Amino acid sequence: MFTPVISGTGVFTPEEVITNDELVAAFNAYADRMNAANAEAIARGEMAPLEHSSSEFIFKASGIERRHVIDKSGVLDPAVMHPLLPQRADGDLSLMAEMAVDACGKALDQAGVAADQIDLVICAASNLERAYPAVAIEIQQAIGAGGFAFDMNVACSSATFGIQAAADMLRAGSVRKAIVVNPEICSAHLEWRDRDCHFIFGDVATATVIERKEDTSGGGFEILSTRCATQYSNNIRNNNGFLRRSRPDGMKDRRDMQFMQNGRKVFKEVLPLVSAHVLRHMAESGVGSDELRRIWLHQANKTMNDFIGKKVLGRVPEAGEQPNILQDYANTSSAGSIIAFAQNCQDLKAGDCGLICSFGAGYSVGSVLLRRL
């Protein structure tokens, strides 16, 4: 058995930023247009008017201040309300692969690994921009990796589930160097016209290089153990899929073809699931709360993270122990906990333990216990 080590991470951050104020101004302009266009139906009581969104609510409910997106022009145009992402020719690099190549390049540089040494590429994300060929295989070719590649989707837990898959293959010896990459174009499956969720997501890509311990020059993070768990729930759902066109109403603008959630229920049901999962994982691995120097959590909601941090550590986390990045990135699905890790791990000392944990649709929870080398 070999020991897997995270030796590098990379983050691709889109240049365009939407602040809460910009987002709310666009949403409110859209709501006003809709209300004006449907004034008679509203007056007859056949339709409820759309209510305004507010920056204060968004910050208070989520902790989000801004988000990066691939295209802000369409999202902020009240007549469009979605990103404008032109269809690319089949011979061109796809958008997910383009984001992934940038993140992979940064992760490989940090690890000091040449792309042609990689023999496993996992593209793990909440949604793939096409059914096949696998985006991972396109990324494999674009970066010049060898071996094999495949896609996987466990929504917000895709990165940790991908890390477990790669780490297990590394342990068994079937691969030598892996990269798990998470290109998340959440802006394209968010319903920007729904006040309840229009503020939640942003775009980003992260990449994580995993190698055998004996192949690294030190300084990485040994993967002590991983745990994944799932429990079926309809509370976070997106019905878009290839069956859409075969349904009689297939081409209609159906709300269920974008991200939908029952946020309150998710909040209440996922918190105990995650806390119990992490505490069990730590107990089984013989790592006590007092040994945990850092927790890099999924970035969906600040109150949620504060709660989980307190449960896991058994006290209110001190500043920096449980870093949040969602104020700058919003929820970036599977990439969130990896951004938090990538941007807040280098100050840990040899022997320090930390835990990456993601959770989301499915429901799904994935945790990765690490020790700094």
Give the residue with the Cβ less far from ligand CO8, 253 or 318. Answer: 253
Burial class (CB within 10 angstroms; exposed 0-12, middle 13-18, buried 19+) of 211: buried
CB 303 within 8 A of CB 327: no
Token pair listed for 167: 């780490």
Cis peptide before 329 (omega within 30 of 0): no
Give the residue with the Cβ less far from ligand CO8, 2 or 267. Answer: 267
| Distance of alpha carbon 34 from alpha carbon 181, whole angstroms | 39
- 101, 63, 360, 295: which is closest to 200 by C-alpha? 63
CB of 209 vs ligand CO8, minimal distance in Å = 24
Residue numbers at the binding site for ligand CO8 (CB under 6 A): 53-54, 57-58, 61-62, 126, 155-156, 186, 189-190, 195-196, 199, 201, 236, 259, 261, 263-264, 266-267, 300-301, 331, 333, 360-361
Element housing 149 (H / E) = strand 148-152
The CA-based dihedral angle spanning residues 283, 317, 320, 334, taken in that order and rounded to the nearest 10 degrees:
60
Which positions are annotated as active-site residues? 156
Give the residue with the Cβ less far from ligand CO8, 128 or 287. Answer: 128
Give the residue with the Cβ less far from ligand CO8, 10 or 366. Answer: 366
The amino acid present at 111, given as its one-letter code, is: A
Give the residue with the Cβ less far from ligand CO8, 196 or 321. Answer: 196
CB of 292 vs ligand CO8, minimal distance in Å = 22
CB of 68 vs ligand CO8, minimal distance in Å = 14
| Distance of alpha carbon 369 from alpha carbon 367, whole angstroms | 7
CB of 162 vs ligand CO8, minimal distance in Å = 15
CB of 208 vs ligand CO8, minimal distance in Å = 19
